[in-house]
Amino acid sequence: MALHGSLADISLPDVIQLVSVSGKTGVFTLSSEGVDGKIFLKDGQIIDATAGKLSGELAFYEMATWRKGQFIFTANIEPERVTVTKSNTNLMMEAARRFDEFRVLQRKIPSMDVIPYFLPRDPAQDQITLSPQEWAVVTKVNGLLSIKQLEEATGLPAFDVCKVLYGLVTSGLISMRAVEDEKAIPDLGPPLGPSPQPAEQKPAQSQPPGLSLRSLFALADNVRKVADDCVGLSGSIAVEKQYRIARAEIEAGKGLTAVQSLVDRLARAISLLEGGDRAGEFLRKVHPLLQP
């Protein structure tokens, strides 16, 4: 007979502890807020885990933070692979540490459904150095995606996304708003990152009034000049390549979206070529160009 229950009544680490003590082989199947996961045990030892796009230890740590949803344990199902090599004890200790840290993060991040957005920043302020993980999150923040959607867009665990955002909130770079709180965002102009495209959106040929092809080409050219100043001669080929892609997209009728995509691609390229500081400088310089 399968063991099943609610994560609201008993935490995942506790129920795994009960099963592992008996030395059972089988699989936990879990679901929480639209995300499915599996944890395989062999003779009571966790040896494989998956949660959404995550696998291995990161998947287990992700599921260990779930406090909503359902679980069911089905015995006598053999795992097909090994993605976890740590002992159960070490896994549980690290999961507990992360959960304690997660509670600290919740002081500034109350929900996975809130939407982070950039706050106005004085160009004279000190430059900020971002790690590759921080940059992966920052380039996706556009004032439209919730933290849950950022997790999906970056492919990072929720814990890591929240940890990056916590640091950015503490530094005064971003703030949070509820989904329905449209007035919470200052008018900073079009988002610098890619925006989610609904299935029923208007045809690409329909452009916002007042933005002619000539204006869009001029805007893309100005963005290219800013990028050239940031990378110098060594990166001019990469900048030119992205600029030509943007021109083709503008000619195809994608409008301002093509310029916004150009900014995003150039920011990534500059980050790889020159580092996060220079990419941040590029975004700050190009931001006034995209304001209506």
Residue range 210-232, pLDDT digits in tens: 467 888 888 888 888 888 888 76
Q: Specify which residues 175 forms β-bridges with.
A: 117
Torsional class of 11: left (φ above 0), alpha (ψ -120 to 50), beta (otherwise): beta
* Res 117 pLDDT > 90: no
pLDDT digits (tens, 9 = 90+) for 253-282: 888 888 888 888 888 777 767 777 777 778
Torsional class of 170: left (φ above 0), alpha (ψ -120 to 50), beta (otherwise): alpha
Query: How many residues would you count in the chain?
Result: 292
Could you give phi then psi for residue 36, rounded to 5 degrees? -105, 150
* 192 and 142 Cβ atoms separated by less than 8 Å: yes
Helix segments in 49-198, DSSP class H = 57-64, 88-105, 132-138, 147-154, 158-170
Using N-to-C axis directions, what is the helix angle for 256-274 and 236-251, rounded to 10°? 170
* Res 4 pLDDT > 90: no
Place of tokens 């970056």: 154
pLDDT at 48: 96
Considering the chain, what is the average pLDDT of its residues?
Answer: 78
Question: What does the alpha-carbon distance between residue 174 and residue 41 come to, in Å, rounded to a whole number?
Answer: 41
- As a whole number, mean pLDDT of residues 139-162 equals 83
- As a whole number, mean pLDDT of residues 7-34 equals 86
Write the CB contacts of 227 (distance below 8 Å, at least 6 apart in sequence). Answer: 235, 239, 242, 266, 269, 270, 282, 286
Using N-to-C axis directions, what is the helix angle for 12-21 and 88-105, rounded to 10°? 170
pLDDT at 56: 92
pLDDT digits (tens, 9 = 90+) for 94-114: 888 887 787 777 778 877 788
Question: What does the alpha-carbon distance between residue 58 and residue 95 come to, in Å, rounded to a whole number?
Answer: 10
pLDDT at 291: 67
Which one is the CATH code of 106-188: 1.10.10.10, 3.60.15.10, 3.30.360.10, 3.30.300.30?
1.10.10.10
pLDDT at 65: 81
Hey, which of 32-41, 150-159, 281-290 has the most confident mean pLDDT? 32-41
- What are the structure tokens assigned to 175, written together? 């703030």
Percent of the chain with pLDDT over 70: 82
pLDDT at 40: 96
Q: 182 falls in which pLDDT band (50, 70, 90)?
A: very low
Is 29 or 261 the better-scoring residue by pLDDT?
29
Q: What is the pTM of this model?
A: 0.51
Place of tokens 């008996």: 22
What letters, b where the CB count within 10 A reaches 16 and e where it falls short, cover 102-116? beebeebbeeeebbb
Helix (H) or strand (E) holding 277: helix 276-286
Place of tokens 């199902």: 77
- What are the structure tokens assigned to 233, written together? 């001669």
Q: Domain limits of the chain?
A: 3-105, 106-188, 208-292
pLDDT at 28: 93
Question: What does the alpha-carbon distance between residue 67 and residue 9 come to, in Å, rounded to a whole number?
Answer: 9
